Amino acid sequence: MIGTSTAIAFFPESPSELTLLSQGKQRYQATCPILSKVILSEESQTLPMPFKLLNWNIYKQQEKSWQQSLQEWATSADILTLQEAKLSPELINFSKQNKLFYLQNYAFKHSGFVYGVNTLSKVEAISTCGTAHREPWIWVPKTGIASTYPIQGSEYPLLVINLHGINFTLTEKPLKKQIEPYLALIKTHHGPIIFSGDFNTWSEARLEGVEQSLIASGFSEALFDEDKRLTIFGLPLDHIFFRGLKVLEAQSLVTDSSDHSPQLVTFDLD
């Protein structure tokens, strides 16, 4: 979540067209719902079943303890969907040390660093696309990434969507419009799907708009017995929706390494 005072304090440099960056220094410019094949750096591997996904708005790695916390959770997570990720040498080294592949949507650059959503995974993605939508008031883009992964026990790949929702709008309509390309992609995908991120659902209208769109597409939401997610006006901002999968365990974790608390969910094929 970026405050208006923060946005005014810098002038972000955004690419002239959508740009997705990979650990192999490849650039992809596929706009969802059209997926582009990923140039594989090694022979494609298969995601095991069951698997774990961590969803976390990492707050641009402003807290010193972010790396220690991420390292702790990365030992068990197979896929990590991060929002407000700073593609710093520390994050790149973290991915190398943990043998993780990544895709980062280049939302903007500030002080030499690229920011945006980042999806890390123990298995390399086989296709990807993304979106970028500018905030109407502060002009900082909010981005999303869709990526697919071969999975054990399924002839169809797993589709993972990682979204940072538009925030500063008077109505829920821009947020719903931001989701539309992914709903179109979902209609064409035959395998299991996870749609996670910081949706900025701080109003009933925004929350209902997201939930109704995804429920109508056959999704369920991961729920937590002890819910520690960040809330605004009593409503959670971060969500993990899924289809074609079942939840074995759902944890809402506590941390002081970001203003958001992460979620760690274990999935298996339904």
Residue 7 pLDDT > 50: no
Residue 3 or 150, more confident? 150
Residue 4 pLDDT > 60: no
Q: Roughly what angle, to the nearest 10 degrees, separates helices 173-188 and 204-215?
A: 10
For the domain 21-269, what is the CATH code?
Answer: 3.60.10.10
Nearest C-alpha neighbor of 47 from the set 157, 168, 132, 200: 157
Nearest C-alpha neighbor of 151 from the set 264, 50, 26, 34: 50
Q: What share of the chain is helix, strand, coil (3-state, %, to 5)?
A: 20, 35, 45
- 117 to 50, 60, 84, 130: CA distances (angstroms): 24, 10, 6, 10
Which pairs count as long-range contacts for 172-175, CB under 8 Å and 24+ apart, including other chains?
Answer: 172/203, 172/205, 172/206, 172/208, 172/209, 174/133, 174/136, 175/199, 175/200, 175/206, 175/209, 175/210
What is the per-residue pLDDT for 10? 53
Q: CB 225: neighbour CB atoms within 10 A? A: 7
Nearest C-alpha neighbor of 195 from the set 81, 86, 117: 81
Distance CA 204, CA 150 (A): 36
What is the per-residue pLDDT for 227? 97
In this prediction, residues 70-86 reach a mean pLDDT of: 95
Note the pTM of the prediction, 2 decimals: 0.94
